[in-house]
């Protein structure tokens, strides 16, 4: 499985608005038992991640991510990204580390970015 394509489907799941669209994308890129971690949240499994993504969209309507650099080896990847507003203005940047299972699905995603308390 192409890890870059899997990563981009995951990135797209942050942007799409409906839970049904997110779930459809999840089925193509995330293991059900995945874990997402960032400086503000730990979400275990699809439902917790969905809740976090919905909350993100409430706080940053139309917010989305663009991958600037992606590298992968040995079922792991790192991505540098920018967070953009609905009108494509950069409002943040960060780096994510990810791990993939034997089927090529994401099992762990860890995002690093500046916060007000960093």
Residue 52 predicted with pLDDT over 90: yes
What's the mean pLDDT in 79-99? Answer: 97
* 28: containing domain: 3-113
Q: What is the CATH number of the domain that holds 103?
A: 3.10.450.50
Residue 118 falls within a domain, yes or no?
no
**Considering its fold, how many domains does the chain have in total?**
1
pTM of the predicted model as reported, rounded to 2 decimal places: 0.95
When the pLDDT of each residue in the chain is averaged and rounded to a whole number, the result is: 96
Residue 106 falls within a domain, yes or no?
yes
Q: Which residues contact 93 (CB under 8 A, 6 or more apart)?
A: 80, 81, 82, 83, 113
Higher pLDDT, 1 or 14: 14
Residue 12 falls within a domain, yes or no?
yes
Cα–Cα dist 93/62, whole Å = 16
Residue 13 falls within a domain, yes or no?
yes
What's the mean pLDDT in 69-75? Answer: 97
- Coil, strand, or helix at residue 60? coil
Residue 31 predicted with pLDDT over 70: yes
């Amino acid at each position: 499985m192409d890890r870059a394509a899997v990563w981009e489907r995951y990135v797209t799941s942050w942007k799409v608005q409906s839970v049904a669209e997110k779930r459809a994308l999840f089925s193509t890129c995330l293991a059900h038992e995945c874990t997402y971690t960032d400086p503000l949240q730990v979400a275990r499994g699809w439902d917790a991640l969905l809740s976090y993504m919905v909350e993100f969209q409430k706080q940053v309507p139309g917010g989305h991510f663009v991958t600037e650099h992606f590298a992968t080896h040995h079922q792991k990847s790192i991505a540098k990204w920018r967070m953009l507003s609905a009108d494509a203005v950069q409002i943040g940047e960060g780096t994510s580390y990810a791990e993939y299972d034997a089927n090529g699905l994401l099992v762990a995603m860890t995002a690093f970015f500046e916060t007000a308390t960093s």
